[in-house]
Amino acid sequence: MKKHGFIAVVTAVGLFFAGVVHSGELNLYNWGNYTSPDLIKKFETMYNVKVTITDYDSNTTALAKVKAGGHGFDIVVPSANYVKVFLEEDLALEVRPDQMENFKHVAPEWRNPSFDPGRHYSVPWLWGTIGIAVDTDVYKGDINTSSIVFDPPEELAGKINMAPEMGDVMGMALKYIGSEPCTTDKVALKKARDLLMAAKSKWVSMDYGLTEKMPRGDFSAALYWNGAVYRAGLAKSSIKFGYPREGYEIWMDNALVLKDAKKRRDR
């Protein structure tokens, strides 16, 4: 884990976990294989709290589960583009992290994001980039380009995995053709669609679990998130992360206290 990512996690725990409950049990709903066991153990010891973690594999899964109610979760960790959805659906509690003592540890550039102006609801959990994972034992060429997945070389055709998050894939495709994510330009959108349709036959999967699947050879390249690729590289040193020269996205996952949290303390 990068240092800045660790700081973001510690900040989230300090602001939210302690603010929700001081003793008993805390139920965290988070991305699978994404929560530091050492961090949770330290928090449990410090606050005499038992933390139960339930995993999910996508933003849409998390949103649907929370909206359905009766889930029993206290905190959820959606991506930036889904924080706004949670707020619009009135699913998050306004806990005013911006007024909490530890807010001074949040980096200035993350204190007033467009998806949560002023940080009245959320704090950063982790952030990073979307890029290209390549097993350099299979492909020896330049990996700092999105052509690896959108117009793949022969060595990688049929051996590519795509992250199953529509916004990330579409955003990277738009950057590849020289446009910008969230554009309303129909010409650009059609061009991106055609690019994706043509590339699809060269992909073997749209799946999670890169950390385990890529080192064992399920695929040799991927459009994916940097943290998972780093961990895959620890398992197999030939797996490297490329930063596409055509442009790439920055992602951020953020912790929210749910409005129907069972363990929250009255403010």
Question: Model's pTM, two decimal places?
Answer: 0.82
pLDDT at 24 over 60: yes
Long-range contacts of 191-200 (CB under 8 A, 24+ apart): 195/150, 196/150, 196/169, 196/170, 199/149, 199/150, 199/151, 199/152
The torsion angle over the Cα atoms of residues 134, 137, 143 and 146, rounded to 10 degrees, is: -40
Instruction: Say whether pLDDT at 66 is over 90.
Output: yes
Per-residue exposure over 5-24, b if at least 16 CB sit within 10 Å of its own CB, e if not: beebbbbbbbbbbbbbbeee
Q: Does position 62 have pLDDT exceeding 60, yes or no?
A: yes
Per residue in 214-263, pLDDT (tens digit) is 999 999 999 999 999 999 999 999 999 999 999 998 999 999 999 988 65
CB burial of residue 108 (10 Å; 0-12, 13-18, 19+): exposed
pLDDT for the residue 263: 54
Give the integer Cα–Cα distance in Å for 233 and 150: 22
List the domains of the chain with CATH numbers.
3-127+252-257 (3.40.190.10), 128-250 (3.40.190.10)
Per-residue pLDDT at 192 exceeds 50? yes
Quick one: pLDDT at residue 264? 54
User: In 91-243, where does DSSP find H-type helix?
Assistant: 147-150, 166-176, 186-200, 210-213, 226-235
State yes or no: pLDDT of 177 exceeds 90: yes
| List of residues 6+ apart from 95 with CB closer than 8 A | 16, 19, 120, 121, 257, 267
| pLDDT of 111 | 94
